[in-house]
A and B are shown apart, each in its own frame.
Chain A
Amino acid sequence: MTERLRQTARRLLEEGNVQVVIGYGASGPVFITRPEDADKLEWNDRCFANLTVYLTRKEVKALGKAALVVKGCDERALVVLEKESQIDRAALYVIGMACDGLGAAKCVECQTHVPRFADEVIGTQAEPPAPRCAPEPNGLDRLMAKSPAERWAFWTAEFARCVKCYACRQVCPLCYCERCIADKNRPVAIDTSATPKGNFAWHITRAFHLAARCIGCGECTRACPAGIPLGLLNQALAQATEENFGYRPGMDREAEPVFGAWSPADKEDFIG
């Protein structure tokens, strides 16, 4: 598959269809602009990163029309970005990698092994994909089984390690605001220091700005240097979104985003 990926990249660059190929390299992402560099592309078990995050970056946009290497799970971010008018899908070439799972816990439950909307899919999925690790014990269920006071204590301890590096924001393909509310200082909406108060305000904001949008790639958890299971908050919101609206972000290109719409029939059992 690696060889076919390199051939495809070389062909696209030689034909001049795209100016840059964004893919996985030996150590981190690579931005290939010359056909002779196509051999720097890799496809292996370490291709975890969700490369769609680069599409909304100014520096990457400046490189010209891009071809992007995506896995089926990452592709859901493309659907959301397109829905939110952040990318012009026609001005993007998507190289989809059929993926048997990379050995991460999230791969066991994955339902999108093969990219569905790619311009070109490389490889085929083994049927059925062999799970290479046990499914993750469901952290969310365990958390929600606790009492609210225990959950509060859990998050207080977790957030106490947060140093506000904002890696969770930078790595997220759907956190693309040019000016984040956390950086606004007139007035200060979120206390900027890494105190418990500021950390709670930040993590509530981060999670809720991704409500009904998060595709569950889990990059926030993976990027966190303090090992805070940030994805749990997103999972909780995703679960509530599915229960209330039957909506899974990035699965259906036609579905109306939850917060872009409303219905008179929405439940309001919590409103007095």
Chain B
Amino acid sequence: MSEAIAMSFEPKIIAYVCNWCTYLGADLAGTNRLEYPPNVRILRLPCTGRIDFNLIVKAFEMGADAVLVSGCHPGDCHYTAGNYHARRRWMLFRSLLETLGIETERVHFTWISAAEGKKFQQVIGELTEKTRAMGPYAAYQEMCVGQASACPEAAK
């Protein structure tokens, strides 16, 4: 990727965060006036256990270049075990993404607590730079605009 494109490309990052930890961590970053790149769109959900894998797929369909999923540290879940359930799911979901050849380096998981405003700032900063270096997720976006293939019989 040429430097000129790299400079003009602004990555779109979707962050699915849990209501109780990471969202409050983001809030803390805000109240502490910690600056982080505006490339991230934050979506708040009740719990990481609620974050359906379809939401990750949907984000890519809608043009995201990277997705972040973040919630409470293990042991801190507001609902006791939502994040433990989520962790298991992501483990297997990553293996499915790998099998399909989807770029797993664009799907990030992290734990950020309500007290970690600083960590939120760092994660978003690093993620934005990493995604900027990787460039847009062209493979998925090009696939999404593809038309249904014509019936081979009809094409004859």
A interface residue count range (under 10 / 10 to 19 / 20 to 34 / 35 or more): 35 or more
Q: What mask results when residues 117 to 143 of chain B are scored 1 for a CB within 8 Å of chain A, else 0?
A: 000000100000000000000010001
**Contact partner of B54 among A154, A181, A237, CB < 8 A?**
A181
Binds B, one of A33-41, A120-128, A260-268: A260-268
Question: Are B102 and A271 in contact, CB atoms less than 8 angstroms apart?
Answer: no
Q: What mask results when residues 193 to 229 of chain A are scored 1 for a CB within 8 Å of chain B, else 0?
A: 1111100110011011001100000000000000000
The yes or no answer to A7 lying at the interface (CB within 8 A) is: no
- B residues within 8 A CB of A270? 90-91, 94, 109
Question: Are A161 and B149 in contact, CB atoms less than 8 angstroms apart?
Answer: yes
Distance, CA A10 to CA B144, complexed state (A): 55
Q: Which residue of B lies closest to A149 (CB)?
A: B101
Distance, CA A81 to CA B108, complexed state (A): 33
- A residues within 8 A CB of B96? 204, 207-208, 211, 233, 236-237, 240
Interface centre among B94, B98, B103, B143 (most CB of A within 10 A): B143
Main secondary structure on chain A at its contact with chain B? helix
The yes or no answer to A166 lying at the interface (CB within 8 A) is: no
- B residues within 8 A CB of A211? 89, 92-93, 96
Give, as a whole number of angstroms, the nearest-CB distance from A129 to chain B.
30
Interface centre among B91, B93, B104 (most CB of A within 10 A): B91
Question: Using a Cβ cutoff of 8 Å, how many contacts connect chains A and B?
Answer: 128
Distance, CA A266 to CA B84, complexed state (A): 8
Main secondary structure on chain B at its contact with chain A? helix
Give, as a whole number of angstroms, the nearest-CB distance from B20 to chain A.
17
Q: Which residue of A lies closest to B146 (CB)?
A: A196
Q: A190-B54, A240-B95 are in contact. Are A271 and B146 (CB under 8 A)?
A: no
The yes or no answer to B147 lying at the interface (CB within 8 A) is: yes
**Contact partner of B99 among A144, A156, A196, A259, CB < 8 A?**
A144
B interface residue count range (under 10 / 10 to 19 / 20 to 34 / 35 or more): 35 or more
The yes or no answer to B85 lying at the interface (CB within 8 A) is: yes
Give, as a whole number of angstroms, the nearest-CB distance from A223 to chain B.
19
**Contact partner of B100 among A155, A239, A262, CB < 8 A?**
A155
The yes or no answer to A137 lying at the interface (CB within 8 A) is: no
Give, as a whole number of angstroms, the nearest-CB distance from A161 to chain B.
7
Question: Are A236 and B95 in contact, CB atoms less than 8 angstroms apart?
Answer: yes
**Contact partner of A152 among B102, B109, B110, B123, CB < 8 A?**
B102
Q: Which residue of B lies closest to A197 (CB)?
A: B144
Question: Are B101 and A264 in contact, CB atoms less than 8 angstroms apart?
Answer: no
* CB contact list, A241-263 vs B, under 8 A: 241, 244, 258-259, 262-263
Q: Which residue of B lies closest to A140 (CB)?
A: B99
Q: Which residue of A lies closest to B98 (CB)?
A: A148
Distance, CA A205 to CA B54, complexed state (A): 7
The yes or no answer to B81 lying at the interface (CB within 8 A) is: yes
- A residues within 8 A CB of B98? 144, 148, 151, 236
Q: A153-B101, A160-B149, A211-B93 are in contact. List 13 more A-B contacts (CB 8 A).
A: A151-B98, A155-B101, A156-B143, A189-B54, A189-B58, A191-B61, A196-B143, A196-B148, A208-B93, A232-B99, A236-B96, A259-B88, A272-B109
Chain B residues proximal to chain A, CB less than 8 Å: 53-54, 57-58, 61, 74-75, 81, 84-85, 87-96, 98-104, 108-111, 123, 139, 143-149
Supply 20 A–B pairs (Cβ within 8 Å), ascending by A. A143-B99, A149-B101, A151-B99, A160-B149, A197-B143, A197-B144, A201-B54, A204-B100, A208-B96, A212-B92, A233-B99, A240-B91, A241-B92, A258-B92, A262-B87, A262-B88, A263-B84, A268-B74, A268-B87, A272-B123
